[in-house]
Amino acid sequence: MGNAVVLKPDARTPVSGGFLIARVLEEAGLPEGVLHVLPGVGAEAGAALVEDPNNQAISFTGSTAVGRKIGEAAGRLLKRVALELGGNNPFVVLEDADVELAATAGAFGSFMHQGQICMATGRHIVHFSLAADYVEALTSKAAALRVGDPFRDDVDLGPIIDAHQLDHIDGLVRETVRGGARVTTGGEHDRLFYRPTVLADVGTDAPAYRQEVFGPVAPVVTFRDDEEAVRLANDSEYGLKAAVHGGSYEHAMEVGRRLEAGAVHVNDMTVNDEAVAPFPAVKASGNQTAFGGPADVGEFTRWQWVTARETPNPVPIGGA
C-alpha cells in the first residue's frame, strides 16, 4: 500500500523473521529506507515503536497477553491497530465423517511445524461413535512421524523453539494426564525434540484442551450431537480458525456456519492460508480486523475526501 515499514521480529527469530526478509526484498530492488528491521530483546523496543508518533498504524502478531497491552496503548494514542493473536482452534469430526480422511487432516493440523503455528489444531472434537477409531488412526499417524534435526536427517518434525516453550508444552501434557487423560503416543522428548502426542479421555477443563499449547499435542474430546459439538467448539476465549469434517457437504456446512472463528474450513484443515485471502480473527484471537489480500487496502490506507474547482465559486451567503 506504499507505506514504509519498521519490522520488529521476535527476539528468538531475528534472522528468519527479520533480516532474511529484508535481504530478499533488497535484492529484489526495494528502495533504501522503505523497510527497516529493528531487533531487540525484551519489551522496550516494541513499546517504543507503539508509542512513537511517527508510526501511525500498528500491526502485531503474537500472544493475546501482549496484544492486549498493545491495544490499550494504541487506543490511548488513537492509533489504528491490527491484532492477530493466539488461537486454540477446534477441529470437529461429525458422525458421518470418513475417519481416515479426518485423522489425516487432524494430524496435519496438530503436528505441522511442531504445532508452533497460530492455525494449529488445538482441540479435536469427535463424535462419540467414531472416537475410538479416530484416536487409533490419529495415534498411528503420530507414531509414524519422524522427529529430529532437519539439518542432519530426513524428518517430519523438528525441534521446539526453546527450552522454555518445551517446558510449557510438557507441563500442560503432564497436568492433563494427572487429571485423567491417557497418552496413546508421545508425551516424551529428547532435548528440544518433542514427540507428536495424542491425548484421549480428555476432560473439557483439562489444561491441554483449554489453553493454547503451541506444540505437537492433539487432545481429543467427544460429543453426542451437533448442538454439543457447536457448543464445545465455541466454548473458548479464542476465535481464530475452525474446521469441520463430515461425510455430507450440506451437514458439514450447516455446522460450520455456526462456528465462531475468523476463518472456517469445511472438510479441510485448520492450517489453511492463502496470501490472497484475508486473515481475520475474533474474540481473544484479534480485534476483528483482517489483513492479507484485498483486506490490506482497508487496513493499511486511510480515507481522505478531496474536492477541487478550477476557480473559486461565489458562496451564496451575505449578499446579492
Each residue's pLDDT tens digit, 109-154: 999 999 999 999 999 999 999 999 999 999 999 999 999 999 999 9
Q: Is there a common fold for 5-85+276-299 and 89-266?
A: no
Q: pLDDT-derived band of residue 160, with 50, 70 and 90 as boundaries? A: very high
What CATH number does domain 5-85+276-299 carry, 3.40.640.10, 3.50.50.60, 3.40.605.10, 3.40.228.10? Answer: 3.40.605.10
Question: What top-level class would CATH report for the domain 89-266?
Answer: alpha beta
Core vs surface per residue 99-138: b (16+ CB within 10 A) or e? beebbbbbbbbbbbebbbbbbbbbbbbbbeebbeebbebb
Reduce the secondary structure of the chain to three states and give it as a string: CCCCEEECCCCCCCHHHHHHHHHHHHHCCCCCCCEEECCCCCCHHHHHHHHCCCCCEEEEECCHHHHHHHHHHHHHHCCEEEEECCCCEEEEECCCCCHHHHHHHHHHHHHHHHHCCCCCEEEEEEECCCHHHHHHHHHHHHHHCCECCCCCCCCCECCCCCHHHHHHHHHHHHHHHHCCCEEEECCCEECCEECCEEEECCCCCCHHHHCCCCCCEEEEEEECCHHHHHHHHHCCCEECEEEEECCCHHHHHHHHCCCCCCEEEECCCCCCCCCCCCEECEECCECCCEECCCHHHHHCCCCCCCCCCCCCCCCCCCCC
In this prediction, residue 194 has a pLDDT band, given cuts at 50, 70 and 90, of very high
Q: Catalytic: which of 44, 72, 95, 118?
A: 118
pLDDT of res. 37: 95
pLDDT at res. 320? 54
- Cα–Cα distances (Å) from 134 to 97, 200, 248, in that order, read 10, 10, 18
pLDDT given at position 29? 97
**pLDDT at position 238 over 80:** yes
Concerning whether 250 is annotated as a catalytic residue, the answer is: no
Active-site residue identified among 84, 237, 254, 274: 84
C-alpha 221: how far from its chain's center? 21
Residues 6+ apart with CB under 8 A from 18: 7, 8, 9, 37, 39
Residue 31 has pLDDT above 80, yes or no: yes
Domain boundaries, the chain: 5-85+276-299, 89-266
pLDDT digit string (tens) for 291-307? 888 898 989 999 999 99
- Catalytic, 212? Answer no
* Residue 92: band (very low, low, confident or very high) from pLDDT cuts 50, 70, 90: very high
**The model's pTM:** 0.93
Residue 105 neighbours by CB under 8 Å, 6+ apart: 91, 243, 245, 268, 269
